[in-house]
Chains A and B, each alone.
Chain A
Amino acid sequence: MQLALFFIFGTLAVAGALNLLLQRHPINSALSLVVVMMSLAVLYWSLGAEFLAAAQVIVYSGAIMVLFVFVIMLLNAGEEEETHGSRAAYTVGIPGATAIFCLLSFVFLSERHALGSANIGGYLNRGVDNIAEVSAMLFTKLLLPFEVTSILILVAILGAVVLARKEQ
């Protein structure tokens, strides 16, 4: 059951990501990204990270992507024209991407023993309520990074207010 969930939503995530690249209309691409986010949330949940799954849905698909869609609607962005791309993209991009892919797979395959192996599915059989653990970790061990991130977001909000303020 959990294995089936993993395969269904893993495939959905990959398909959504491909669709995001292939669609020509920005709103369709944005919606494909929503599908990717939701599938990732289901995968998190199947790993037992239920709080992370909920946060993923609420923050990414519910807030950030809605803003994306909102802006696309507001600007009424039309369909993109397909260009043939620059020559550099073909001459450098494809060999480069292939080289990085080969390098990464070589590293992963050769260091297989050091990385260990992962189980697919089965994490929910002994499911625990881990919200308390997550918050305890966040407010004790990781307090400094947490607070620094909060200040970073606060600075971003203040910056947005300064930029949006009208000139007197």
Chain B
Amino acid sequence: MTHLTNFEVFLLLSVLKVAVVLVITLMCVAYTVLLERKLLGHMQNRWGPSRVGPFGLLQPLVDGAKLFLKEDLMPLAVERPLFLAAPVIALGCALISVAVVPFGAVTTVKGVDMFQIANVNIGLLVILGITSIGVYGIALSGWSSNNKYSLLGSLRSTAQVISYELALGLSLVGVVLRAQSLNLRAIVESQSAHGALSWNIFGGCQFVAFFIYLMAAYAETNRSPFDLPEAETELVAGYHTEYSSMKFAMFFMAEYANMITVGCVATLLFFGGATSPFGHLIPAVGGRYVQAILPVFWFVAKVFGFLALYIWVRATLPRFRYDQLMSFGWKFLLPLAMVNILVTSLVLALRG
């Protein structure tokens, strides 16, 4: 690679990173669906998908093929350009946020960090911004479908996401205050001193913030118990009632990609990102490659835990009513987040 300039090396490695991360994320999305069906099945005392491949492991591939081959219906009265753009916006926004997530320790190859696509100073704000743009996908899909159930679903969803965005953003301020940076690597770095004891949720005493973040994130991703936008008993299928085939699949993938993003952010901000929970208690065994892969393993394990929690919550809790949802967000989570900011900054000011 000596005949390549630095810029060319950077470009090639970046493209490689983007391609690999994109493929892995999409595979994760497919297998999260399987994980959900399997876990839900076992929690409800049945098997879940078990026919295709060993333990039903090939089910996502078959589902994908089915969705590709289905007829793509397009109702006559839809607002055509927006109807087509909405699923693209939803899926695009869901996938872009993975770009700023550091999923391993700093490992440079030819000066390029291999375990993060883009190390941005304002990584946390980028994730929040992309999440807030993702609302357009849902809002436009409901409106352009020209269907009252879609419109009601998307109105509910938009109102819900706007309301919980505030609590979500405010719950992260405590973490940012502790790390004194919005850079995700710096935030992870601030929790890496003594393993699990210095994670923000334990050592940082940010468990209130974590609780608020978790609630708000469930509402942001329209997942149970806040899945009112697609409450089947009231709204048929909510904002994606009129969508079929791959366009429906894009909304479906966006939902699961958002779940993964939420899991990544929770891991980074509250559970020490890719650092080991045992800190330096375990000696560094293996060679250079094992030491590079091990943090990725911890990161994936933590995110997997969050996905399992998501599914567990879905199997356990009944759906909120709409007024309960709004008063929970505005009258409970938001004031609690503000109190958390006050207490955290007071403690930090007294200590520093």
Q: Which residues of A contact B (CB under 8 A)?
A: 27, 31, 34, 38, 50-51, 54-55, 57-58, 61-63, 66-67, 69-70, 73-74, 129, 131
Contact = CB atoms under 8 A, between A and B. Distances in A.
B129 A58 contact: yes
A31 B85 CA distance: 12
Contacts of A58: 125, 128-129, 132, 169
B238 interface: no
Name the prevailing secondary structure of the B interface residues.
helix
B139 interface: yes
Contacts of B236: none
B133 A61 contact: yes
Best-buried of A34, A62, A67, A74 by chain B (most CB within 10 Å): A62
Interface in B112-149: 120-122, 125-126, 128-129, 131-133, 135-136, 139-140, 142-143
B143 A73 contact: yes
Given A73-B139, A73-B142, A131-B182, A63 B132 contact: yes
Contact of B155 (A27, A73, A131): A73
Nearest to B166: A63
B119 to A, nearest CB: 12
B165 interface: yes
A126 B318 CA distance: 53
B125 A54 contact: yes
B132 A67 contact: no
21 contacts: A31-B140, A38-B133, A50-B120, A50-B122, A54-B125, A54-B126, A57-B129, A58-B125, A58-B129, A58-B132, A62-B129, A62-B131, A62-B165, A69-B139, A69-B143, A70-B162, A73-B142, A73-B158, A74-B155, A131-B121, A131-B122
A66 B182 contact: no
Contacts of B128: 54, 58, 62
Name the prevailing secondary structure of the A interface residues.
helix
A63 B125 contact: no
B236 to A, nearest CB: 18
Contacts of A31: 82, 136, 140
Interface of B: 82, 120-122, 125-126, 128-129, 131-133, 135-136, 139-140, 142-143, 151, 154-155, 158-159, 162, 165, 169, 182-183
B132 A70 contact: no
A62 B122 CA distance: 16
B260 to A, nearest CB: 21
Contacts of B143: 27, 69, 73
Given A57-B132, A57-B133, A63 B165 contact: yes
B121 A69 contact: no
B133 A51 contact: no
A14 B132 CA distance: 23
A76 to B, nearest CB: 8
Contacts of A63: 132, 162, 165
Contacts of B131: 62
Given A58-B132, A66-B162, A67-B162, A51 B155 contact: no
Contact of A62 (B120, B133, B155, B159): B133
Given A38-B133, A69-B158, A131-B121, 16 more contacts: A27-B143, A31-B136, A57-B129, A57-B132, A58-B125, A61-B132, A63-B132, A66-B135, A66-B139, A66-B158, A69-B140, A70-B155, A70-B158, A73-B142, A73-B143, A73-B154
Nearest to B123: A54
Contacts of B122: 50-51, 54, 131
Given A51-B122, A62-B129, A74-B155, A69 B82 contact: no
Given A58-B128, A74-B155, A129-B121, A66 B136 contact: yes
Contacts of B133: 38, 57, 61-62
A69 B142 CA distance: 12
B173 to A, nearest CB: 13
Nearest to A57: B129
A31 B121 CA distance: 28
Nearest to A62: B132
A69 B136 contact: yes
5 closest Cβ pairs, A-B complex: A62-B132, A54-B125, A57-B129, A73-B143, A58-B129
Given A51-B122, A54-B122, A70 B129 contact: no
Contacts of A54: 122, 125-126, 128-129
Nearest to B130: A57
A69 B82 CA distance: 13
Nearest to A69: B139
A27 B162 contact: no
B121 A70 contact: no
B121 A50 contact: yes
